[in-house]
Structure 1
Amino acid sequence: MKKVILTGDRPTGRLHVGHYAGSLKERVKLQNSGEYDDIYIMIADAQALTDNAEHPEKVRQNILQVALDYLACGIDPNKSTIFVQSMIPELTELTFYYMNLVTVSRVQRNPTVKAEIQMRNFEASIPVGFFCYPISQAADITAFRATAVPVGEDQLPMLEQCKEIVHKFNSVYGETLTEPQIILPSNKACLRLPGIDGKAKMSKSLGNCIYLAEEPEDIKKKVMSMFTDPNHLRVEDPGKVEGNPVFIYLDAFCRDEHFAEFWNDYSCLDELKAHYQRGGLGDVKVKKFLNNVMQEELRPIRERRKEWENHLPDVLDILKEGSKVAKETAAKTLEDVRHSMRIDYFTDNNLLK
């Protein structure tokens, strides 16, 4: 069996370091590992419209923004197929068939759906398209016969639901669909990066993000305003590193060589943590170090992005070509699905057989 990756993002805004730590960095690593036969990276504009139906221009404007972030992070169009979801109508048809295999109560129990509904204040009136997006996501994954899906921890319930749909389809219609496996970041701190305000999740809608394309002065301003241990009021007070956003970010991005370059009072992060925990180390110093780490991490991304911004027609061509390749793959899967369901009536006059 071919080893295939499918992953993607909703184009509702520029991508931030939560996307980068939680999934993008891992995608680039997997892309360059040479272990996978095909890699598909989807700009999920149709899914974005499920809660932006009245603002399609917002989605439209961010398609290129997300593509630029992908290219800036190191996604290589020669190794990965970048495509736009709505350009693949086969995904919609697959979603329609899968809907018959899932109950309303099962979707309602999905923890990710529950959290997203609450965050968007949809409790009273949920758009049907938004409610069904776990089924749409299953269509996206199975259309490309993905064996691996690198995502953040919050998407784990979605993958479980996708597996259920695969099992149900295969048990009813015969072995047709491929069951995917989730790939979580190896660094546990990257599973779910908190917002700079200390809230559980970094989110564009909450305004607590550091964007990949941020200018240096904006990164510094945000880092220096970050939430820390609320009980660490004086320098001499012992500080808590568990649940402290500044140290979570350091866990995600800091390497030993950063200390040699930016803070040679320490040789590694464990030494810094130990000093903070016993007291005598102020938050401002730690934030200044984190700022240096983040600047080092984001500088090459920002520079590559600016280079691609000068070649937008080339970016558009990458999306066009990627969508063409993706459509061919999805069409073959849809053909197999229709055959398994015995609804390929006109193929070889099957309706007469």
Structure 2
Amino acid sequence: MTTKQRMLTGDRPTGRLHLGHYVGSIVNRRALQRAYESYFIIADLHMLTTKNSREEIAAAGARAREMVLDGLAAGLDPELSVFYLQSAIPEVAEINTLLQNLVTVPRLQRIPSLKDMARDAGKEEMPYGLLGYPVLQAADILCVKAHAVPVGKDNAAHVEVAREIARRFNALYGETFPVPELVPGEVPTLVGTDGQAKMSKSIGNVIYLSDSAEEVRRKVMAMYTDPNRVRADIPGRVEGNPVFVYHDAFNADRAEVADLKERYRAGRVGDVEVKTKLAAAINAFLEPMRERRAEYEARDGFVERLIVEGTERTRAVVRQTVHDMREAMGLNGIYAGFRRACGVPVG
């Protein structure tokens, strides 16, 4: 039996994973996977808060498979990783119900990312499920009694809600949950290729982990840069410039980055050279992922088995958590009392 603490993180199956996911949480998932018993959720119930058409639901399976492949390609070890499908564990809904009275509506309304999610999804009004997104996320974290949650900046406020709920549950009913710790990424938010917002699938300003070398080159050459620099001999701004944000995050040649910054500030290098070298750096960064992805993709049924086995393993853990919660709250005793009153054995 494992003595490791647990880690929980994951993504909604709304599309492929991108560089923003990598710097926000995947790099930490990879670094922490040996230290923790690692659970990775395919959060298809969360997907329903903004994408709930029959077409979106029908596409979730294929997207889930691609998402797991992205994680494996990025360095998650299948021997150390438990991938599971959220909707295949109905006990999570019960945990969500048991937790939802431990947080107030005004507390949830103060989370700015929920309004951003509604706006990005084209919702004029916030669905009830989206307002409760952090409570369901708390259920995800607490259902496996996770100690660590490596997530991006957008989810930091959600993890704080989970921490508050865990503390309130423990205070009301006795120590049942560890209070999960947020593990932030080194690059909190990666600006999109358009320079106007964070990298986001819904906006389309992304470089995917699975992009080909030519796709990366095309996207990089079209990237937003210093708008005031119309010629290469004009000194440019490096700070906040998306091209240099990406160089800092993904170019392993630090001397090259320093040289490009110096010449850019002095007006001695053009955007074409800066972007060409960035495309080469990102492709060098992604090439090992492409190779790993091809290896896993060639193993027929491998990803599907990972998901099925991981889901069954996780459901056993979650069932135990539901039992622990009901015992702590005293809920199990209510029906047991009625059974005893009727002379029905209590199992």
Smaller-chain TM-score bracket: over 0.9
Q: Is 1:216 aligned to residue 213 of structure 2?
A: yes
Question: Which residue of the other structure, out of 276, 279, 290, is the alignment partner of 1:288?
Answer: 276
Structure 2 gaps of 5+ residues are 342-347
Asked if the contact 1:228–1:245 (Cα under 8 Å) also holds between the matched residues in 2, the reply is: yes
Instruction: Tell me the alpha carbon deviations over residues 301-345 of structure 1, each in whole angstroms, 9 at most, x when there is no partner.
Output: 112212222224111111111111111111111111111110113
Distance (Å, rounded) in 2 between the aligned partners of 1:168 and 1:118? 31
Match of residue 229 from structure 2: 232
- The answer to whether the 8 A contact 2:89-2:311 is kept is yes
Cα displacement (A) at 1:218:
0.9
**Corresponding residue for 1:310?**
298
Pair 1:48 & 2:36 matched: no
- Aligned-partner residue type, residue 303 of structure 1: E
Match of 2:345 in 1: none
Asked whether the 8 Å contact 1:344–1:350 carries over to 2, the reply is: no
Gaps spanning 5+ residues in structure 1: where?
260-266
1:37-61 deviations in Å (ceiling 9; x for gaps): x111111111112222113112232
Between Structure 1 and Structure 2, how many residues are aligned?
337
Describe how 1:131-150 pairs up with structure 2 within 5 A: 131-150=131-150
The TM-score, its normalising length taken from structure 1, stands at 0.91
Residues 4 and 35 in structure 2, CA contact (< 8 A), matched pair in contact too: no
Please state whether the residue corresponding to 2:41 is helix, strand or coil: strand
Task: State how far apart, in whole Å, the 1-side matches of 2:277 and 2:294 are.
Answer: 26
Shift of 1:219: 0.8
Q: One-letter code of the match for 2:163? A: K
User: Aligned partners of 2:148, 2:77: CA distance in 1, in Å?
Assistant: 18
The amino acid across from 1:241 in the alignment is: V
Shift of 1:200: 2.1
How far is the alpha carbon of 1:35 from its aligned partner?
2.4
Matches within 5 A, 1:1-353: 2-31=4-33, 34-36=34-36, 38-54=37-53, 55-124=56-125, 126-186=126-186, 190-256=187-253, 267-345=255-333
Q: What is the TM-score when the length of structure 2 is the normalising length?
A: 0.92
Q: Hey, what's the Cα distance between the residues in 1 that align with 2:12 and 2:165?
A: 22
- Contact map agreement 1:43 1:84 (CA 8 A) in 2: yes
Could you tell me which amino acid in structure 1 is paired with residue 301 of structure 2?
A: P
The Cα of 1:349 is off from its aligned counterpart by 6.1
1: CA distance between counterparts of 2:245 and 2:63?
29
Q: Taking structure 1 as reference, are residues 272 and 351 closer, same or farther at Cα in structure 2, changes over 3 Å only?
A: farther
Provide Cα deviations, 1:107-126, integer angstroms capped at 9, x if missing partner: 111122122122223233x2
Equivalent AA in structure 1 for residue 247 of structure 2: L
Match of 2:217, SS? Answer: helix
The code of the aligned residue for 2:175 comes to E
Q: Using the TM superposition, give the Cα deviation of residue 4 of structure 1 relative to its aligned residue in structure 2, in angstroms.
A: 1.6
| Aligned residues with identical type, % of pairs | 42
Q: Deviation of residue 89 (structure 1)? A: 1.4
Q: What residue identity is the alignment partner of 1:246?
A: V
The alpha-carbon deviation at position 103 of structure 1 amounts to 1.6
Q: Give the distance between the partners of 1:286 and 1:94, measured in 2 at CA.
A: 51
When the two chains are superposed, the root-mean-square deviation of aligned CA atoms in Å is 1.9
Amino acid at match of 1:327: R
CA distance in 2: counterparts of 1:102 and 1:169, whole angstroms: 10
Question: Secondary structure of the residue that 1:121 maps to in structure 2?
Answer: coil
Paired residues of 1:49 and 1:59 also in contact (CA < 8 A)? no
CA contact (8 A) 2:14 2:47 kept: yes
Preserved contact between residue 345 and residue 351 of structure 1 (Cα < 8 Å): no
**CA offset digits 1:223-258 (Å, max 9, x no partner):** 1000001111111111111111100111111123xx
Given residue 111 of structure 1, which amino acid in structure 2 is its aligned partner?
P
Partner of residue 263, structure 1: none
Distance 2:201 2:176 in 1: 38
